[in-house]
Amino acid sequence: MSKVFITGANGLLGQALVETLKDVSVVVASGVEAEHFCPVDGVEYLQLDITRAANCNDVVKNLRPDFIINSASFTHVDACEEQRELCWNINVKGVENLARVARKIGTHLIHYSTDYVFNGTDGPYSEGDYCEPVGYYGRSKLASENVIRQIGCAGTIVRTCVLYGTGKRVKQNFFLWVLNNLQAGNKITVVTDQFNAVGTQKILETSWKGTIHLAGADYLNRYDFARAIASVFALPEDLIVPITSDRR
Ligand SMILES: NC(=O)c1ccc[n+]([C@@H]2O[C@H](COP(=O)([O-])OP(=O)(O)OC[C@H]3O[C@@H](n4cnc5c(N)ncnc54)[C@H](OP(=O)(O)O)[C@@H]3O)[C@@H](O)[C@H]2O)c1
């Protein structure tokens, strides 16, 4: 069994990774918080702020995992515009800290990036397409990818988009916003010209390296996604009003 060290384990993706990988790997989870929100039998939890280089170094060297999976990130897109230094520290410097120690001890780093590295005008995108982020969050995530490439550790960069689901104390996401509003009987307007797919994947078995776009098989705009949520949960679809981005 491979040993997997997961950062950001209290986040939406981190919680799902721990739950998925605990049966096929020896998982050590970590988060910036003192407490593991979703403690799991057999999974050790450590507190780790990835912006602290010395701590990253010590923890990873001590554990010597086969894989580091970095799901820690500053993900609030609007707050990234306001708190640029904090955003850069977490999304770029933190990743640099992990990439440096990964290279030092020959560990494979799996890192999550985003479709926000593209300008969004000409999707769907493939891995080799030109990156042109329009906001600070996207710029920081593109820089996080580049720092891994520059440092040259064994690495996989997974670009994904619109993760959805539930978890303990997870932040609001599109899925929860639609669900909560429809359950409360609220009318919502949802754009028809922003397309997403959903997905996640294990790369551990193959040790695949490089940059990969990871998404589900369906190519949906947000409006159709919202209607699918209503349908699955037997909620009224007529509360969902289609709109285009320029009229929001
Ligand atoms: N959610 C999406 O739709 C989406 C789409 C595309 C790509 N992604 C990427 O997928 C990854 C996971 O996203 P997510 O939705 O799971 O985000 P999330 O729920 O916000 O989880 C991120 C986790 O990182 C933690 N964190 C923040 N600063 C940290 C630090 N200095 N050290 C250690 N941990 C820290 C956060 O803790 P606090 O909450 O306490 O700050 C949070 O638990 C990110 O790389 C994101 O860019 C997400």
pLDDT for 234-245, tens place per residue?
999 999 999 987
Do residues 199 and 16 make contact, with C-beta atoms less than 8 angstroms apart? no
For residue 141, how far is its CA from the centre of ligand 1 (angstroms)? 12
Candidate from 50-54, 97-101, 146-150, 191-195 with smallest mean pLDDT: 191-195
Terminal CA-CA length for the chain: 50
Residues sharing a CB contact under 8 Å with residue 152, sequence separation 6 or more, in sequence order:
103
Pocket test for ligand 1, best of 15, 59, 75 (most atoms within 8 A of CB): 75
Record the pTM. Answer: 0.92
Q: Which band of pLDDT confidence, cut at 50, 70 and 90, is reported for residue 216?
A: confident
For residue 3, how far is its CA from the centre of ligand 1 (angstroms)? 22
User: Does residue 75 surpass a pLDDT of 90?
Assistant: yes
Q: Which band of pLDDT confidence, cut at 50, 70 and 90, is reported for residue 201?
A: very low
Superfamily the domain 2-171+196-218 falls into: NAD(P)-binding Rossmann-like Domain (3.40.50.720)
Two tokens at 132?
């042109």
Task: Kindly state if the Cβ of 97 falls inside 6 Å of ligand 1.
Answer: no
The more confidently predicted of residues 247 and 96 is: 96
Task: Kindly state if the Cβ of 72 falls inside 6 Å of ligand 1.
Answer: yes
Rg over alpha carbons for the chain, rounded to the nearest Å, is: 19
3-class SS letters over 45-78: EEECCCCCHHHHHHHHHHHCCCEEEECCCCCCHH
Q: Give the CA dihedral 54, 56, 58, 63, nearest 10 degrees.
A: 180
